[in-house]
Structure 1
Amino acid sequence: MSEYSTEYVTVFHTVGEVRAWRSKQQQQGNTVGFVPTMGALHAGHLALATAAARACSSVILSIFVNPAQFAPHEDLAQYPRTLRSDIEKLTPLAQTTHCVVFAPSVAEMYPRGITTDRTQQRGTFVEVLGLSEMLEGGSRPHFFRGVATVVSKLFLIVMPEMAFFGQKDVQQCCVLRAMVGDMHFPIKLEVVPTVRGEDGLALSSRNVYLTEEQRKRAPAFYRGMCKARELFDSGVVGRDALITAVAAEAASEGLEIEYIRLSDPDTLEEVDSVTSAGAILSGAWRMGTTRLIDNTLIGFEF
């Protein structure tokens, strides 16, 4: 048993341990819900675990900071690693639900090694072409290759009936939904609505990097999206008007906007207006050195 295991939460570190546990769940007729995370758990992650507990007999969370999602200049070394406190946060749920954690080492997940320099990477990787190049892929071309690769590995290790992801990472949800279909994974992917603070800011592990002053200004992007949704509800469907509503509110608090897009929910290509298929209104902005993302769904639901 791992030193991190507690009375209520068992922590596994190897693929063999997880597969033995999964075999036991199958023998007992238990369905398994899976929540992949990079740790530093907050209420958003716990909402995913709670949704998994409602839908499945057993819940497994992975806690793994995936190097393949980071470029050499990004904050891999600084990314918070808080396994012990993460286990404590899961305890209330684990008191009523069978809940375990898979916290593998980098060597366990990447037996041939892994570097953040994509040109030096060796081994097997998964790419979802087309969707991965949109939106976040413009500034982080390595990111969704890393996501698709590690989630594919985790799916094959855990073999869950259902997997749960947060809407805040909407492009990730679209990429993985396509991957599940393309690769014929026998897994139902569930998208859980974004969990927000009282001021509307989406919960994120990166919020801890915000200063008190930045934290007060950051919700302006969400307020702008709310105004855009109000416009849509009043009959406005044009991209320019909806994006302008977000940009104006963000500018009022001096947010450093990287992009705001109105996108087709299937292709993520930019659209001129919201059609009967709906659209995703999303964006990214910086507060000092911290980069944040958010989105809202217009005219459709996952």
Structure 2
Amino acid sequence: MKIVRTIQALREERGKMEGSVGFVPTMGALHAGHLSLIRRAREENDHVVVSVFVNPTQFLPGEDLEKYPRREEADRLICEKAGVDLLFMPDASAIYHEDEVTLKAPAYLGYILEGHRRPGHFDGVVQVVMKLFGLVQPDFAYFGKKDAQQLRILQKMAEDFFLPVTIVPMETVREEDGLALSSRNVYLSPEERRRALSISKALKRASKMVMAGERSAEAIEAEMREVMRGIDVEYVAIVDRDFRPQERVELKKSIILVAARVGATRLIDNIWL
């Protein structure tokens, strides 16, 4: 595995690659969820590129940019064992410049739910992913469904800019107790982690309700909020695949999303029905 930190070195190594390239962009602190993306990329491509870059433009003032977990050596070992060919670990100075051209998230998708709670967050996401796509020039890029709104925005970005990359959605990976894997889980105390389990429990309850024939979004949301009474729920949303609100759940068309704070830690999760 090659490790590169500069744009020039990345371009040189990318130029040597023949055949398909699978790309997994990350912010590091890699866990089993990231590993599932890397393994899928390894199965489906001749070459695999992973980036580790804590992107400052997607953090709002007061968010956890400075304390976001950074585990460079552990990330390197995980990538090496997973068969990654090229690991890109740049500094922000290599990625961003003064007075640069910027992208904006779409007017609707970028400003509801996560975009409403974290204004400007998705602008930073599309900016950095467009840059990384331009550098890596992947054939396939792998993203988890846990960040469902981000996934849809990046799919739309690829569609709208006619990018020659296929966005591959991947299922959320969970701990045995149901907690969705996240780099931010390390912030949770044992007691907070126990309370955080109510998020996945609420989603599981919603799924059971739907399977039993319940279709009312209002009834499902009310039951989910009851399950999550012990934590600070920011939103429960039931939407279609384009994130339009639904009054009635539709199988194979709906997503149920949750955002909540457990102590000082903000967590998101969802199920795709």
Q: Normalized against structure 1, the TM-score is what?
A: 0.87
Aligned to 1:25: 17
**Match 1:265 to one of 235, 241, 265:** 241
Question: Measured at CA, do residues 290 and 20 of structure 1 come closer, stay the same or move farther in structure 2, by a change above 3 Å?
Answer: same
Once the two structures are superposed, residues 135-170 of structure 1 have per-residue CA deviations (whole angstroms, 9 ceiling, x without a partner) of: 101110110000000000000000000000011111
CA contact (8 A) 1:214 1:287 kept: yes
Residue 6 of structure 2 is matched in structure 1 by 14
Find the aligned partners of 2:253 and 2:219 in 1 and give their Cα distance.
16
For structure 2, the 5+ residue unaligned runs are none
Query: What corresponds to 1:100 in structure 2?
Result: 86
Check the 8 A contact 1:34/1:60 in 2, yes or no: yes
* Equivalent residue runs for 1:1-302 within 5 Å: 9-26=1-18, 30-94=19-83, 98-112=84-98, 122-129=99-106, 130-251=108-229, 254-266=230-242, 268-275=243-250, 278-298=253-273
- In structure 1, the gaps of 5 or more residues are 1-8, 113-121
Using the TM superposition, give the Cα deviation of residue 277 of structure 1 relative to its aligned residue in structure 2, in angstroms.
6.0
d(CA) in 2 for partners of 1:278, 1:229: 13
1:64-121 CA-to-partner distances (Å, cap 9, x unmatched) read: 0101001121111111121111111223212xxx522101110100022xxxxxxxxx
- Measure the CA separation in 1 of the matches of 2:37 and 2:50: 10
Shift of 1:275: 3.3
Following the alignment from structure 1 to structure 2, what is the Cα–Cα distance between the partners of residues 223 and 41? 25
Q: TM-score, normalised by structure 2?
A: 0.97
SS at match of 2:82: helix
| Alpha-carbon shift at residue 276 of structure 1 (Å) | 6.0
Q: Which moved more, 1:155-164 or 1:212-221?
A: 212-221
Query: Once the two structures are aligned, what percentage of the paired residues are identical?
Result: 39
- Indicate the RMSD between aligned Cα atoms, in angstroms: 1.2
- Separation of aligned partners in 1, 2:235 and 2:23: 32
Write the deviation string for residues 171-226 of structure 1: whole angstroms up to 9, x where unpaired: 10010011000000000000110000011000001000000111112111111111
Q: Distance in 1 between matches of 2:208 and 2:250?
A: 16
Q: Say if 1:128 and 1:178, in contact at 8 Å, map to a contact too.
A: no
